[in-house]
Amino acid sequence: GEALAREYQAGTIYNHSLASFTAFFESLELIPPGVTDAVAWTPGSSGLPSPAHSDGRILVGVARKPRHMP
């Protein structure tokens, strides 16, 4: 975190656990590879995590609303 926060000034950075971030997608249909490190997210990839970063990581996920949801 802190090094990333010092470099990124365009908005607020929030620190969430993987479980907390993943819960955001609870009612949605995740697109493979699901929730993963930003550098590892490529459509159809395995979503393998990138090497550990000592100053934090950025999680991403892409999802869609299931067809049966209003």
Mean pLDDT of 18-47: 85
Token pair 């993943």 in the structure block, residue = 22
- What local confidence, expressed as pLDDT, does residue 10 receive? 66
Residue by residue, DSSP assigns 10-68 as SS------HHHHHHTTTTSEEPTT-SEEGGG--TTS--PPPPP-TT---EE--EE--TT
Cβ count within 10 A of residue 36: 21
Which residues lie below 8 Å from residue 64, measured CB to CB, with a gap of 6+?
A: 28, 29, 31
Residues 19-35, mean pLDDT to the nearest whole number = 91
pTM over 0.85: no
pLDDT greater at residue 16 or residue 12: 16
